[in-house]
Amino acid sequence: MSLIGRIVNFYVEGFRGMTIGRTLWAVIIVKLIIIFLILKLLFFPNFIGEHADEGGEAEFVFEQVVGNRE
Amino acid sequence: MNNIDLASVDWARAQFALTAIYHWLFVPLTLGLAVIMGIMETIYYRTGKEFWKEASVFWQRLFGINFAMGVATGIILEFEFGTNWSNYSWFVGDIFGAPLAVEGIVAFFMESTFVAVMFFGWQKVSRGFHLTATWLSGLGATFSAWWILVANSWMQYPVGCQFNPDTMRNEMTSFADVALSPFAIDKFCHTVTSSWIVGAVFVVAVSCYFLLKKKHEELAKKSIHIAAMVGLAASLLALYTGDESAYKVAQVQPMKLAAMEALYNGSESQGLTVIAAVNPFAQPDYANEEEAPLKLEVPCMLSVLATRTVDGYVPGINDLINGYTDEKTGRTELPLSEKIERGQKAIAALQAYRKDPQANAGLADEIAANMPYFGYGFVRSAEEIVPYVPICFYAFRVMVGLGSLFLLFFAVLLFLTLRKDIAGMKWLHWAGIAMLPLAYVCSESGWIVAEMGRQPWTIQDMLPTWASVSNIASAEVMTTFFIFLALFTGLLVVEVSIMCKQIKNY
């Protein structure tokens, strides 16, 4: 078997032989779905990306931080 | 500054603190257990005794549960940077991004490769290769911690950078200065050695549970013996690295040290406060009080710790506000009024420069000259630059007090494991279990001291929190705060129950 084949086989057999690992992977997958598909998409937009024009990020941040400062 | 809702600053800070505290429940155990299971597997490699293989597999399984539960919890912090702290994120530029990118790459490749060999490879690779993978898994996690701490240290002590008024970003001028900042080295050494203590306490606690239940006594006793050695060595190292960290804080963040010590007015031959009756619920009246009430101190000790001389001058909160010159060392701290003036000069120069960069090119030098005080341009009163003293004061004492307790505990434990059979010592088993929550309290307290003591700055002296935060409604941040609270609580319950089930059913 080639090196790549042996590496793939190593992982496949490893995942197949898991016991507690299956539960852990289930938790990890649920967690990643919550983090990336729910939290990131719904609650954590890129604030500057959404509010500043492309190429105008520096000006936007300047206005936010010191632009209209009294 | 635009009309930023100040409540959103508080909610963004609370949310970041909640996420970081939750994330830090997993990291120290990963770093600490990695050392102990590495030692056990090394013994297996050298002796070939199956007992040590079984012991390694058991602790690696608990390591795996903790590792899996900690995965991705740190990513949420990066989301918060982009949404809640967008001004800060832009302002720090590639300085913060570079270490985090290196950390992501190293963490992903090193840990995913070697952790897989560690868990799947017992029957498939040689003993030597497996042992290497086990140590490299721990080294990968430690290396990841290095880059995170480099990024954090830059916020405490910004070096190796120059502010570019055209891009409104700090740009890295020396990667070596950032990556090998003395502040980062001290912080890394103290954080990692204190994490080994958490790992050692965890092993002792689980082993003590087995001894109480009269299960796996040989595994428990030998694990306690190794954990006691690691814990004692780690405690001594944490004592040394903690002292070095405190010395650095005295040099570059004297206000943090003054808050940690509730030191209102400094002096030469300054004593180290053991305890004082600082009101835990209110900022003290440092401007009018001479010192914290009912103060018990070790004479001259703070001078020794902060200046390495018995009669060194240590400034208090009022000295740092009013400015001072140390006659002996020549060290000068500008009064707050002058710092504010220089900060305002930097801001005014930046405003003029950005209106017409070509016509005002000469102002770039003025911006650069006053940039170290840029953040003071946003300050309106002295109260704003003083960290919340009660939290810094008590969190520091909790950290040092518990650290001293662990030093004593591991010394006694090692003595007992060498001289006596600990299987019947129920008091010791209960004490070992009781140490576990204290280890987490101690570890989190260290971070609370470091981060609360840095307030009000996100970047020391250069950017305060209220200029760093995004212009978003506080209700939005509050909503995600409570979502996180529910999510993290749920995940923690799942993690603890999986961990407990594994230990009970072993």
CB contact under 8 A, B83 and A58: no
Whole-angstrom distance, CA of residue B251 vs CA of residue B314: 10
A8 in contact with chain B, both atoms CB, cutoff 8 A: no
Residue B103 has a pLDDT of 79
Angle at B7 between CA B81 and CA B341, to 5 degrees: 80
Burial class of residue B117, CB neighbours in 10 A (0-12, 13-18, 19+): buried
What residues 107-136 of chain B have any CB closer than 8 A to a CB of chain A?
A: 116, 119-121, 124
Give percent of chain B above pLDDT 70: 99
DSSP structure class, residue B270 = P
- Tell me if B95 sits within 8 A of A57, measured CB to CB: no
Q: Determine which of B76, B168, B470, B489 to mutate to test the interface with A (most A C-beta atoms within 10 Å).
A: B168
Residues on chain A touching B354 (C-beta within 8 angstroms): 59, 62
- Tell me if B50 sits within 8 A of B127, measured CB to CB: no
To the nearest whole number, what is the mean pLDDT of chain B? 93
Nearest to A11 among B116, B350, B502 (CB): B116
Q: How far is CA B52 from CA B38, B55, B462, in A?
A: 11, 5, 52
What residues 39-58 of chain A have any CB closer than 8 A to a CB of chain B?
A: 39-40, 43-48, 57-58
pLDDT band at A69 (very low <50, low <70, confident <90, very high): low
A65 in contact with chain B, both atoms CB, cutoff 8 A: yes
Q: Determine which of A65, A69, A70 to mutate to test the interface with B (most B C-beta atoms within 10 Å).
A: A65
Instruction: Give the ipTM.
Output: 0.86
CB contact under 8 A, B71 and A31: yes
Strand partners, B163: B170
B51 in contact with chain A, both atoms CB, cutoff 8 A: no
Q: Is the peptide bond before B456 cis (omega within 30 degrees of 0)?
A: yes
Structure-token match 């494991």, residue found: B417
Q: How far is CA B274 from CA B255, B271, B299, B397, in A?
A: 19, 9, 10, 8
Whole-angstrom distance, CA of residue B354 vs CA of residue B105: 36
Q: Determine which of A35, A41, A64, A70 to mutate to test the interface with B (most B C-beta atoms within 10 Å).
A: A64
Tell me how close the Cα of B374 comes to any Cα of chain A, in angstroms.
Answer: 11
CB contact under 8 A, A11 and B1: no
- Tell me if B3 sits within 8 A of B473, measured CB to CB: no
What are the tens digits of pLDDT across the range B38-63? 999 999 999 999 999 999 999 999 99
Give me the amino acid identity at A17.
G
CB contact under 8 A, A62 and B354: yes
B416 in contact with chain A, both atoms CB, cutoff 8 A: no
- Could you tell me which chain A residue has the CA closest to the CA of B92? A61
CB atoms within 10 A of CB B80: 22
What are the tens digits of pLDDT across the range B131-178? 999 999 999 889 889 989 999 999 999 999 999 999 999 999 999 999
Residue A68 has a pLDDT of 54
Segment A28-52 mean pLDDT: 90
Whole-angstrom distance, CA of residue B283 vs CA of residue B278: 9
Residues on chain B touching A27 (C-beta within 8 angstroms): 68-69, 491, 494-495, 498
Token pair listed for A31: 């967690």
Give me the amino acid identity at B354.
R
- Taking the model in full, what pTM does it have? 0.93
What are the tens digits of pLDDT across the range B169-220? 999 999 999 999 999 999 999 999 999 999 999 999 999 999 999 999 999 9
What residues 161-180 of chain B have any CB closer than 8 A to a CB of chain A?
A: 166-169
